[in-house]
Amino acid sequence: MASLGSGALIFALVVCAYGIGASVYGVRNDEDRWIESGRRAVYGLALVLLVAFIVIEVAFLKNDYGFNTVADTSSATTPLFYRAAAVWSSQEGSLLVWALLSSLWSSLALFLVKGKMREVAAYAAAILLAFDGFFIALAIFYANPFNTTSPKPLEGAGLDPLLRFPAMIIHPPMIYSGYTLCIVPFAFGMGALIARRVDTEWITATRRFALAAWLFLGVGIVLGALWSYSELGWGGYWEWDPVENAALMPWLMMTAFLHSAMIQEKRGMLKVWNSSLVLAAGTLAITGTFLVRSGVLSSIHAFGGATLGVPFVILIGLMIACSIYLVVSRREQLSSSHRLDSLFSRESVFLLNNIVLVGLCFVIFWGTFFPLISEMATGQAASVGAPWFDRYTVPLALILVLLSGIGPVIAWRKASVANVKRNFATPVLAALATLIVLLALGVTSKLFALVMFCLAAFTIGSVTQELWRGTRVRSNATGQVPPRALLGLVGRNRRRYGGYMTHVGIAMLFVGVAGSSSFMHAAEPRLSVGKSIDIGGYRMKYIRPTASVTAKNDAAETGATLDLGAVLRVSKKGRYVTTLRPSEGYYDSDEAGVPPESVGHLIAGTPVSHVTLSSNPLRNVWAAIEPDLQAPKLQRIIAAGNKTIPIDKPEDGMIALAVLAREYLAHPQAAKFNLRVQPLLMWIWIGAIIVAAGGLIALSPTPRTVVRRVSVRAARRRAESGLARA
Amino acid sequence: MNPARKRTIRLTVALSAAVVLAGALIYTSFSASDPTVSPSQLIAQAVPGRHYELTGKVLAHSVRHEGEVLDFSVKDRAGEAAVPVRYTGEVPDPFKEGREVVVTVEKQDDKYVAERNSLITKCPSKYKTAPPKGKPY
């Protein structure tokens, strides 16, 4: 099996080389046969990589520890669900997944533009194959997923318990899809510049891929935040960690591009800007991949053993050099056919939105790479923390939310006073009403939150007004009831109304961020059974301990061998609110350095907080526990088990854990709790879902039949009204 | 005003604003940053009252819990120099002896006191390149 996988990788590299050669030769010599052959090489590459992926996936599912990567990241006790996803938890597996996803998206893009943009598509195919070839070469020469060990180990190390969380199964493929999709517009942008075909055709052809990249990256980022909030036991969702930032930067660039592309499509403006944004987003996607795998920056994610820095630096250097050369050398073709008519226009708002997004991206880039920058400048590496990031990103976020409310209602070309009065009265009233209500409620201490709530109300008011007006017009014109008219309105122009929906989602998401960060109450008390603590108006009482032991080979849920926790009763002003059951899961370990102890070994893996929370739109009550496993009585049981139970009797070791669990229940020690009350946090997830739904709507094609039918009706009405006037 | 002159003024204003903002960004990043140091560098250059971002591995047999306080030592990744750290706050799940950590510390007498909740522990399995190990059973 391993030789089949290795052979597939080598064949894939040959296919890449052939496809690049065929595409470039075809386009240079005007040979359609070769161009077509290059395109088919991309389809073939996807098939070959799919075979390689199936080989490694089967090895994981069959627990074939002869494969090094399987032995390293999976085990018989790793639940099947997580075993299937363990492929992308390792360096070598994730490289293969990256190349596979890239080849699949490339195939789809080239299939959809078949028969169009002959030259641009041929160059794009060559560039896409070059990226695939790069990742395949890394997989072959640096981190081969098909490397084997003989004799094969009897058991694997297991997937890190921290990664045994449902969101983490789909988070990496989402992020990889986002990164690889960023490469599609990059390749087409490059192709357009090389072929000197910089009109709107390449933008129209790849806009959906840019939108898909934006959507996948966004979903991946939110899933990562959800994992952090639900699994890491610290109660936060964002830490400005380099790996978080790595995904956010291309997302911001793609957001900017999706807005400015509209200006090029409508007015033929911003060609240099759009080309630069697409090229920057592609380069940042590769930079993000480099950050994760190079070991160049400190992060909560492990980079220590990663060795892929040099090849990535060379690739990124090439991407930047080629991008600059092409944009500069094609500046004449990229000159705009129109200029801004007024600063008070939708074009200007989009441009300002772009500047803010790029500024935000630059701030994050600077802060992320500051350890390297400071080392180069002063010889001493230094890093900036979350307060530094917040200082710049908070005001920029406020401006973005404001612009997302102005954009949908301001006129193209030039906004008149009448336009401003007509379109801004309702949103401004919504913001003022919100301000009055909040002031009446006494929300005066947190200025950022107060301003954000008002701006969010402005944006929601602006979009609601647009939807209401459109629905009313459609309802009057077609006789449909308003809900149906609304659906018809959205269905008729999915790109526009999907976009509006994302604006509402972003506003809600920022309401969640502002509320949860500005008004959070937190405490980390050590509580004994019967004791309680008051936090943010809630009383939390430690009622009783909980404990459970999972048989070692019973792959239940996350595969924890031991679970120790507590029952907390939450009340407010004496009235019962909810019951929380936080616990800490302990796992078997095969990590280097873990002593060969029959009982200690079974709980020496990374302990994982099983967070519990009570959530509603107004507030989250969140709890994690850190039981005192160092208590002398518990340690004595472990020591006695280690001494008396042979290492090759893990089942007996589990009995010792059962004794330990019983002792924990019978004589509960004080435990350390991490307790939080976070107002409005649920709006982060609600907002993210709305953003994703809006992205999906914008991504879905508008049915031509619907457009035609409505146009015919509208034409008939216009004709009738014209006749009536006459 | 003619359109070309108007555009030049706009461009000048925009570029000036960009330069001012970039200057502020650069200035604040240098003034608000904490030096990133290894234990041996910390021993050599620590000044009382200044914050440092210490990176290294948790020294074996150095972890002690005293109520709310967690005492441990951080050693160089590839050397033997180690510094004692006194920490309070959230302890990340992956924290244990031998793991790589990042923590913000300040020198106080012969101890290094960590900033509350500043401890970060690296995830050990992601993208590791260590060879596979077999189990003894």
Beta strands in chain B, from DSSP E residues, in sequence order? 34-37, 51-58, 64-66, 69-75, 82-88, 100-108, 111-114, 120-121
Pull the structure tokens for residue A621: 């009550």
> In chain B, what is the straight-line distance between the N-terminal and C-terminal CA atoms, in Å?
86
Name the minimum distance, in Å, from the CA of B20 to any CA of chain A.
Answer: 13
- Of the candidates A115, A276, A244, A78, the residue with the CA atom closest to the CA atom of residue A171: A244
- Residue B121: list chain A partners with CB under 8 A: 300
- Residue A608: list chain B partners with CB under 8 A: 93
The pLDDT score that the predictor gives to residue A590 is 62
Say if residue A534's pLDDT is above 90: yes
- Least CA distance to B65: which residue of chain A? A630
- Output the DSSP codes for A172-184: HHHHHHHHHHHHH
A382–B34: do the CB atoms touch at under 8 Å? yes
Tell me if chain A has a CB within 8 Å of the CB of B2: no
Element (H, E) at A538: strand A538-549
Q: What is the pLDDT of residues A308-335, one digit of tens each?
A: 778 888 999 999 999 999 999 988 888 8
CA distance A301 to A163: 12
CA distance A451 to A456: 9
Name the minimum distance, in Å, from the CA of A159 to any CA of chain B.
Answer: 8
CA distance B136 to A590: 10
- Helices A32-61 and A2-28: crossing angle in degrees, nearest 10, is 160
- Least CA distance to B127: which residue of chain A? A91
Burial state string for A628-647 with b = 16 or more CB within 10 A and e = fewer than 16: bbebeebeebbeebbeebee
Q: Kindly report the three-state secondary structure assignment for every residue of A592-626.
A: CCCCCCCCHHHHCCCCEEECEEEECCCEEEEEEEE
- Least CA distance to A387: which residue of chain B? B32
- The closest CB to that of B92, out of A232, A380, A591, belongs to A232
A72–B132: do the CB atoms touch at under 8 Å? yes
Q: What is the pLDDT of residues A407-450, one digit of tens each?
A: 998 888 887 888 888 889 999 999 999 999 999 988 888 899 99
Please count the CA atoms within 13 angstroms of the CA of A87 that sit on its side-chain side.
Answer: 23
- The closest CB to that of A391, out of B28, B131, B133, belongs to B28
Mean pLDDT confidence for A540-568: 79
| Least trusted range by pLDDT, from A224-233, A607-616, A690-699, B103-112 | A224-233
Residue scoring higher pLDDT (A721 or B132): A721
Who's near A137: CB < 8 A, 6+ residues apart?
A13, A311
**In this structure, what is the dihedral angle of CA atoms B128, B134, B135, B137, given to the nearest 10 degrees?**
160
Say if residue B61's pLDDT is above 60: yes
Residue scoring higher pLDDT (A582 or B77): A582
B137–A388: do the CB atoms touch at under 8 Å? no
- The closest CB to that of B129, out of A305, A592, A626, belongs to A305
The pLDDT score that the predictor gives to residue A704 is 61
Mean pLDDT confidence for A84-103: 89
Say if residue A216's pLDDT is above 80: yes
Say if residue A719's pLDDT is above 50: yes
Q: Are A206 and A109 in contact (CB under 8 A)?
A: yes
The pLDDT score that the predictor gives to residue A506 is 96
Pull the structure tokens for residue A230: 């639900």
Cα dist. A27→A35, A184, A295, A581, B95 in Å?
6, 19, 40, 64, 56
A160–B35: do the CB atoms touch at under 8 Å? no
Name the minimum distance, in Å, from the CA of A696 to any CA of chain B.
Answer: 31
Tell me if chain A has a CB within 8 Å of the CB of B63: no
Tell me if chain A has a CB within 8 Å of the CB of B49: no
Please count the CA atoms within 13 angstroms of the CA of A721 that sit on its side-chain side.
Answer: 7
How deeply is B93 buried, as exposed, middle or buried, from its count of CB atoms within 10 A (0-12, 13-18, 19+)? buried
- Whole-angstrom Cα Rg for chain A: 29
Burial state string for A274-289 with b = 16 or more CB within 10 A and e = fewer than 16: bbbbbbbbbbbbbbbb
- The closest CB to that of B124, out of A65, A302, A307, belongs to A302
**In this structure, what is the dihedral angle of CA atoms A370, A372, A374, A377, given to the nearest 10 degrees?**
-140
Kindly report the number of other CB atoms within 10 A of residue A93's CB atom.
Answer: 27
B125–A160: do the CB atoms touch at under 8 Å? yes
- Least CA distance to A149: which residue of chain B? B132
Say if residue A474's pLDDT is above 60: yes
Question: Does A151 sit behind a cis peptide bond, omega within 30 degrees of 0 on the bond before it?
Answer: yes
- The closest CB to that of B102, out of A233, A234, A298, belongs to A298
CA distance A383 to A299: 11
Q: Residue for token digits 């610290």?
A: A234
Mean pLDDT confidence for A600-608: 78
Residue scoring higher pLDDT (A439 or A198): A439
- Helices A271-294 and A201-231: crossing angle in degrees, nearest 10, is 40
Say if residue A637's pLDDT is above 50: yes
**From the candidates A336, A370, A394, which should be mutated to test the interface with B, based on the most B CB atoms within 10 A?**
A370
B93–A233: do the CB atoms touch at under 8 Å? yes
CA distance A501 to A460: 9
Q: What are phi and psi of A277, to 5 degrees?
A: -65, -45
- Residue B136: list chain A partners with CB under 8 A: 596, 647-648
Who's near A684: CB < 8 A, 6+ residues apart?
A225, A237, A509, A512, A513, A516
Q: Are A710 and A644 in contact (CB under 8 A)?
A: no
- Residue B21: list chain A partners with CB under 8 A: 359
Query: Chain-wide mean pLDDT for chain A?
Result: 87
ipTM over the 0.90 cut-off: no
- Which amino acid type is present at position B64? R
Who's near A83: CB < 8 A, 6+ residues apart?
A60, A61, A63, A74, A159
**From the candidates B88, B103, B126, which should be mutated to test the interface with A, based on the most A CB atoms within 10 A?**
B126
- Helices A2-28 and A118-141: crossing angle in degrees, nearest 10, is 150
DSSP state of A148: B
Say if residue A45's pLDDT is above 50: yes
Tell me if chain A has a CB within 8 Å of the CB of B68: yes
Q: What is the pLDDT of residues A566-602, one digit of tens each?
A: 999 999 999 999 999 999 888 877 665 556 677 777 7
Pull the structure tokens for residue A646: 């042979």
A608–B93: do the CB atoms touch at under 8 Å? yes
- Residue A302: list chain B partners with CB under 8 A: 100, 122-128
**From the candidates A606, A608, A672, which should be mutated to test the interface with B, based on the most B CB atoms within 10 A?**
A606
Using CB atoms and an 8 Å cut-off, which of residues 92-121 of chain B contact chain A? 92-94, 96-98, 100, 102, 104, 117, 120-121
Q: Residue for token digits 């992926």?
A: A53
Pull the structure tokens for residue A382: 């230094």
A94–B93: do the CB atoms touch at under 8 Å? no
- Of the candidates A498, A492, A509, A501, the residue with the CA atom closest to the CA atom of residue A208: A498
The pLDDT score that the predictor gives to residue A716 is 61
CA distance A393 to A254: 18
The pLDDT score that the predictor gives to residue A550 is 78
- The closest CB to that of A392, out of B25, B89, B96, belongs to B25
- Of the candidates A248, A132, A93, the residue with the CA atom closest to the CA atom of residue B127: A93
- Whole-angstrom Cα Rg for chain B: 23
Say if residue A453's pLDDT is above 90: yes
Cα dist. A392→A277, A360, A640 in Å?
21, 8, 56
Name the minimum distance, in Å, from the CA of B40 to any CA of chain A.
Answer: 14
